[in-house]
Amino acid sequence: MIAGAVRAGARIPAPLVGCFYEFFSEGLTPYTASSGDTSIFSVVNEELRVAAQSGGSAWIQRPFTMTRPAVIFSGRAWVNAGTSDDGCGAYLHNAGGTEIMGFQPRSSVANDPSQRGSFFFGADTVRIGSAALAFGEWYSFEIAVAAGAGNTICTLRRESNGATLTQAFSGNHSPPSVAALRFFVDSSATTAATAFDSIVVCPRR
């Protein structure tokens, strides 16, 4: 595990029928679609590591065995020392390949001068908190979808001290049907090295 990582800090729900869990125990074998320089992606100690890169985009994608509604999208993310560019994000896509929702632990200066963690639901964006994620720290993230304007909640929790931020999307969102998990990085400069673990997609709380 990455230095400082405490797997016990992850908040993983009890197994539920119909949920998707990604603990990277199979490495990158289930990721059957990709683009760009995929050598930046690797699995070490059952964590997805995404190395810093510059110039161009890259992604890997794992299709689900069936489409499923996403009421909960959660996981863990870690960011290494970075520059003015962003880091890799974790996203859910529908069967047509459209990005539906996601979390990016570090934004580029061009998109957010503070380089905060960002949640996405279609065109609806939440830049959470007032500062960037601390380097070398694991954070738990979650999107909890509920119909009605302002009812879909983003949560970010620093595992080392339990500090938690919550913020709602402004739009009215219903649980979408999703078909794949994608890790995507788009660099115009040099990206921040990132890591992900314990991804969960559930059709209910």
Chain segment 21-54, per-residue pLDDT in tens: 999 999 999 999 999 989 999 999 999 999 988 7
Query: What digits encode the pLDDT tens for the residues 178-198?
Result: 999 999 988 666 788 899 999
Position 17 scores a pLDDT of 57
**Domains of the chain by start residue, with CATH:** 34-202 (2.60.120.200)
Q: How far apart are CA 106 and CA 117, in angstroms?
A: 5
Cβ contact 182:103 at 8 Å: no
* Opening angle at CA 118, ends 16 and 154, nearest 5: 40
Helices (runs of H) and strands (runs of E) counted in the chain? 0, 15
pTM above 0.85, yes or no: yes
Position 205 scores a pLDDT of 74
**φ and ψ at residue 27, rounded to 5 degrees:** 65, -140
Q: Looking at the DSSP assignment, which residues form a beta bridge with residue 154?
A: 143, 167
